[in-house]
Every structure is written in C-alpha cells, then in structure tokens.
Amino acid sequence: MYKQVKATLQKVGELMIKVSDGQKFELHLHNTTFHDNSGLIELNAGAETYWIAGDQVVYMWIHRVKD
C-alpha cells in the first residue's frame, strides 16, 4: 500500500489514511516524506512527528467537496 499512498498523494496533494490499529492521518505534500528504503511515511504534524509503516495502511480516501 506504501506505493499507492505515495503515488496518490503526489497526484492529489492531500490524502487521508487509516492504519491497521484504527488511527487516521491527514497527509499533505508539504509535510509528508516517503522513505523508500524502509517503507516508512514520515508525517511532520507541527508539534509531533509520526512515522507510519506503509504496510500498515488499510485504506485511503480524499475529501470531496459538494457543489
């Protein structure tokens, strides 16, 4: 799932993910780094930094804006 998350974020710029323990994260291009050698997704959330195992992502989605 790591590669799909990376490709989708690069395409849409903002992405929501849920990991296997139920936590949800909002990723943005400006605060997310992908570590291809380890499969980790690094999320800099200001006061906190998260390292998310790409193989623990169970699904992803994007926000849709209604007209």
- Residue 3: the pLDDT is 95
40 within 8 A of 52, measured Cβ to Cβ: yes
pLDDT at 67: 61
Q: Considering only CA atoms, which of 9, 1, 11 is closest in space to residue 43?
A: 9
**pLDDT tens digit string along 15-67?**
999 999 999 999 999 999 999 999 999 999 889 999 999 999 999 999 776 66
Q: Right CATH number for 2-61 from 2.30.30.100, 1.10.3720.10, 3.40.50.1220, 2.60.40.1120?
A: 2.30.30.100
Give residue 64's pLDDT.
72
The reported pLDDT for the residue numbered 46 is: 85
- In this predicted structure, what is the pLDDT of residue 65? 64
